[in-house]
Chain A
Amino acid sequence: MEIDPFIFRLSIFILSIFIGYYVVWSVTPSLHTPLMSVTNAISSVIIVGAIIAGLAGNSGSDFTISNILGFLAISLAAVNIFGGFLVTQRMLQMYKKKKNK
Chain B
Amino acid sequence: MIMSANLSAIFYLISGVLFILALRGLSSPETSRKGNFFGILGMTIAITVTFLSIESFSSGLIYVLIFLLIGGLIGAFIAYKIPMTAMPELVAGFHSLVGLSAVLVAISAFLNPEAFNLGFQGNIKLASLIEMSIGAAVGAITFSGSIIAFLKLQGIMSGSPITFRGQHLLNALILISILALTYLLCSTQSSNFFWILLAVSFLIGFLLIIPIGGADMPVVISMLNSYSGWAAAGIGFTLENSALIITGALVGSSGAILSYIMCKGMNRSFFNVILGGFGAAEQSASSGDKEHRPVKSGNAEDAAFLMKNASSVIIVPGYGMAVAQAQHALREMVDTLKKNDIKVTYAIHPVAGRMPGHMNVLLAEANVPYDEVFELEEINNDFANADVAFVIGANDVTNPAAKNDPQSPIYGMPVLDVEKCKSVLFIKRSLSPGYAGIDNDLFYKENTLMLFADAKKMTEEITKNL
**Nearest CB of chain B from residue A70's CB, rounded to whole Å:** 5
**A38 CA / B74 CA spacing, docked (Å):** 17
**Nearest CB of chain A from residue B391's CB, rounded to whole Å:** 20
Q: Say whether A45 contacts B232, CB under 8 Å.
A: yes
Annotate A68-97 by CB proximity to B: 1 below 8 A, 0 otherwise.
Answer: 011111111111111111111111111111
Annotate A25-45 by CB proximity to B: 1 below 8 A, 0 otherwise.
Answer: 111111111111111111111
Residues in B neighbouring A88, C-beta threshold 8 A: 36, 39
Determine whether A19 belongs to the interface, using a CB cutoff of 8 Å to chain B: yes
Q: Chain A: how many interface residues by the 8 Å CB criterion?
A: 86
Annotate B105-131 by CB proximity to A: 1 below 8 A, 0 otherwise.
Answer: 101110110111000000000010000
Q: Say whether B97 contacts A79, CB under 8 Å.
A: yes
Determine whether B33 belongs to the interface, using a CB cutoff of 8 Å to chain A: yes
Residues in B neighbouring A1, C-beta threshold 8 A: none
Q: Chain B: how many interface residues by the 8 Å CB criterion?
A: 118
Most buried by A among B46, B87, B112, B232: B112
Q: Which of A17, A41, A46 contacts B235 (CB 8 A)?
A: A46
Q: Say whether B87 contacts A30, CB under 8 Å.
A: no
- Contacts A29-B357, A30-B360, A38-B23 given: A78-B257 contact, CB under 8 Å? no
Annotate A43-79 by CB proximity to B: 1 below 8 A, 0 otherwise.
Answer: 1111111111111111111011111011111111111
Q: Say whether A93 contacts B33, CB under 8 Å.
A: yes
Q: Say whether B369 contacts A96, CB under 8 Å.
A: yes
**A90 CA / B233 CA spacing, docked (Å):** 28
Q: Say whether B233 contacts A13, CB under 8 Å.
A: yes
**Nearest CB of chain A from residue B309's CB, rounded to whole Å:** 24
Determine whether B402 belongs to the interface, using a CB cutoff of 8 Å to chain A: no
**A17 CA / B332 CA spacing, docked (Å):** 43
Q: Say whether A81 contacts B104, CB under 8 Å.
A: no
Q: Say whether B42 contacts A42, CB under 8 Å.
A: yes
Which residues of chain B in 124-183 are interfacial with respect to chain A, using CB atoms and an 8 Å cutoff? 127
Determine whether B189 belongs to the interface, using a CB cutoff of 8 Å to chain A: no
Q: Say whether A42 contacts B251, CB under 8 Å.
A: yes
- Contacts A40-B228, A42-B42 given: A83-B112 contact, CB under 8 Å? no
Residues in B neighbouring A80, C-beta threshold 8 A: 71, 75, 94, 97-98, 101
Which residues of chain B in 67-117 are interfacial with respect to chain A, using CB atoms and an 8 Å cutoff? 67-76, 78-80, 82, 84, 87, 90-91, 94-95, 97-98, 100-102, 104-105, 107-109, 111-112, 114-116
Annotate B276-312 by CB proximity to A: 1 below 8 A, 0 otherwise.
Answer: 0000000000000000000000000000000000000
A-B pairs, top 3 by smallest CB distance, nearest first, are A78-B71, A56-B115, A32-B357
* A residues apposed to B, CB below 8 Å: 5-6, 9, 12-14, 16-17, 19-21, 23-61, 63-67, 69-99
List 11 A–B pairs whose Cβ atoms lie within 8 Å, in order of A's numbering.
Answer: A28-B26, A29-B360, A33-B360, A38-B36, A39-B255, A40-B225, A78-B69, A78-B75, A79-B97, A83-B76, A83-B94
